[in-house]
Amino acid sequence: MISFSIQANLFKKIAALFTAILMSLGIVINKPLPRDGIKADAVMSFANEVAGSAAGMISVTSNYDGEYELYWGDANGEKLVTSAQSGRTLIYSEFADVDVKRGLGEETMNSFLAIPPEAETILLYYGDTLLDTDELPQGKKVAAAKPTYSFGGLSDVHFNRYDSTGGDDSDISYPRALNLLDEMGVSLVALAGDLSNKGEASSYESFRKYNEQHDFPVYTCRGNHDCKKEFSYDAWKANVNVGVFDGETAPEGVLARSDNGFDFVYSGRETHGDIFIFLSQCSDKYLPGVEILKQEQLDWLKAQFDAYRGKRIYLFFHTFLTSLQGDPRMGEGNIVNDYGYFYPLPYVKYNSDEQQFWTLLRQYRNVIFFNGHSHWAYAMQRYNKDLNISSVEGRSAPMVHISSVAAPRTTDILHPIQTSNPAKMSEGLYIAVFPGYVMTYAMDFVNNTILAYATYRIAR
């Protein structure tokens, strides 16, 4: 039985590779369509009765095997769109892809997957053909409402790292992301680090230049690339989190500052009492026994968690990703594709700082933890369902992955090793805060698209 399973799996890989090679050459082999056309039906089985929650399973039955897409629709059965405050139209991507084989396909949704407030229907498509339209149950619909406030979540800007356009690609990607978030009406932008390539001062100067073109504050922590050899604290302090560590008295909105000159707590008028904590990495090395968080930082973090136990806390730290579906022996955020493990992130599990960090996330469930580092494009969750968001099956505070503004990473059958996509892709988050919940919208900043498959609802 085991031998047969291995042989069957190998055959599938070979067949998939052969198909991909043909497609790369422009050769597509399609099965003949049924004489009376494709007949398909989608059924959404919801896992709970919470309005706005898409947790559950989508089942597709069809007389034609292939990959089908599910979209949220409006009351007229059209694909869902929305508008930024500026009036710019944003489209929603599909929220699920279902592979139908032998007439049936099923896909389990992430338990955090959200139904957008404007959605009225569920649409089933094969290619450009609409095959089925179902109205959302009344109890699942959420009345469209204006958020209390909103903020942007970005990571891995990486000035001076990518030059596919003949200049610094981040001179295009970063201001474009800020501009769209500005159009969305955000009150502030928070980042999970890696502003630079090697910690060079010019990266931080570029960061400040683009931030100053907007009225909202922009705050960040330090990532592993910001810990590299060219790093200058003077350049960081002059251009990043400007004013936070100037003078003996903290500026308005800054509630606490660590003695290390990096870590701080922010809660301005625009955050309506919510707390933002920016926790900086102290090393770019991922080795046994090497801390990326010092003990003093962990003690400081616990003190802040205790001080604001009754508040909603948004924690921004660069690393410590979730990877329940990955190889537990490998780095966090790893993915399994058709050829096994590829691009394992440099990381060592079970260091003391990591274990203490996870303990804090288990104890303080009022925290939402945002991290970057991996660069994985949001669509890579097809290999690891926990890649973009997880609470470790309810055992920790929610952990939300932020893709890269500069160069999201992808893979496919022809590129089993990760491929960066500077200039071609740019992703991040628009986060809307409502009285009873938080919505994290994954954004495609190149195509002005909301990635519905990575848009989540987190209870407050």
Let me know if residue 8 belongs to a domain: no
Is 85 found in the same domain as 60? yes
Let me know if residue 68 belongs to a domain: yes
Quick check: 406 and 393 in contact, CB under 8 A? no
Model confidence at 15, in pLDDT bands (50, 70, 90)? low
Model confidence at 2, in pLDDT bands (50, 70, 90)? very low
Return the pLDDT at 3.
37
Let me know if residue 106 belongs to a domain: yes
Q: At what angle do helices 295-307 and 352-363 cross, to 10 degrees?
A: 10
Return the pLDDT at 207.
98
**Cβ atoms < 10 Å from Cβ of 311:** 15
Average pLDDT over residues 118-123: 96
How far is 2 from 291, CA to CA, in rounded Å?
42
Q: At what angle do helices 201-211 and 170-184 cross, to 10 degrees?
A: 30
Is 257 found in the same domain as 340? yes
Query: What is the domain range of residue 385?
Result: 149-425
Is 258 found in the same domain as 130? no
Return the pLDDT at 28.
52
How far is 265 from 280, CA to CA, in rounded Å?
12
Q: Output 44-51 pairs: Cβ under 8 A, ≥24 positions apart.
A: 44/122, 44/134, 46/137, 46/140, 47/111, 49/139, 51/115, 51/139, 51/140, 51/141, 51/142
Average pLDDT over residues 100-126: 96
**Domain end (from 140, 164, 193):** 140
Return the pLDDT at 7.
46
**Cβ atoms < 10 Å from Cβ of 101:** 8
**Is residue 43 over pLDDT 70?**
yes
**Cβ atoms < 10 Å from Cβ of 287:** 12
pLDDT in tens, 53-69: 999 999 999 999 999 99
How far is 62 from 132, CA to CA, in rounded Å?
11
Question: Would the pTM count as exceeding 0.85?
Answer: yes
How far is 123 from 120, CA to CA, in rounded Å?
10
CA atoms within 13 A on the CB side of 233: 6
Is 270 found in the same domain as 179? yes
Average pLDDT over residues 352-372: 95
Model confidence at 22, in pLDDT bands (50, 70, 90)? low
Is 371 found in the same domain as 245? yes
Is 412 found in the same domain as 302? yes
pLDDT in tens, 272-304: 999 999 999 999 998 889 999 999 999 999 999
Let me know if residue 437 belongs to a domain: no
Model confidence at 184, in pLDDT bands (50, 70, 90)? very high
Quick check: 136 and 122 in contact, CB under 8 A? yes
Q: What value does the CA radius of gyration of the chain take, rounded to a whole number of Å?
A: 23
CATH assignment of the domain containing 350: 3.60.21.10
Return the pLDDT at 350.
82
- Beta partners for 143? none
- Beta partners for 380? none
DSSP per residue, 429-445: EEEEE-SSEEEEEEEET
**Is residue 379 over pLDDT 50?**
yes
- Which stretches of 31-74 are assigned E, i.e. beta strand? 40-46, 56-62, 66-73
pLDDT in tens, 314-348: 999 999 876 666 666 566 677 777 667 766 677 77
Let me know if residue 389 belongs to a domain: yes
* Nearest one of 183, 176, 227 to 203, comparing CA atoms: 227
**Is residue 234 over pLDDT 80?**
yes
End-to-end CA distance of the chain: 48
Model confidence at 441, in pLDDT bands (50, 70, 90)? very high
**Domain end (from 140, 174, 207):** 140
Let me know if residue 460 belongs to a domain: no
Is 173 found in the same domain as 91? no
Is 365 found in the same domain as 248? yes
Q: What does the buried/exposed string (b/e) look like for 316-351 if buried means 16 or more CB atoms within 10 Å of the residue's CB?
A: bbbbbbbbeebeeebbbbbbebbeeebbbbebeeeb
Model confidence at 13, in pLDDT bands (50, 70, 90)? low
For the chain, the average pLDDT equals 91
User: For 140-149, 160-169, 173-182, which range has the lowest pLDDT when averaged over its residues?
Assistant: 140-149
Q: Which has more confidence, 27 or 8?
A: 27
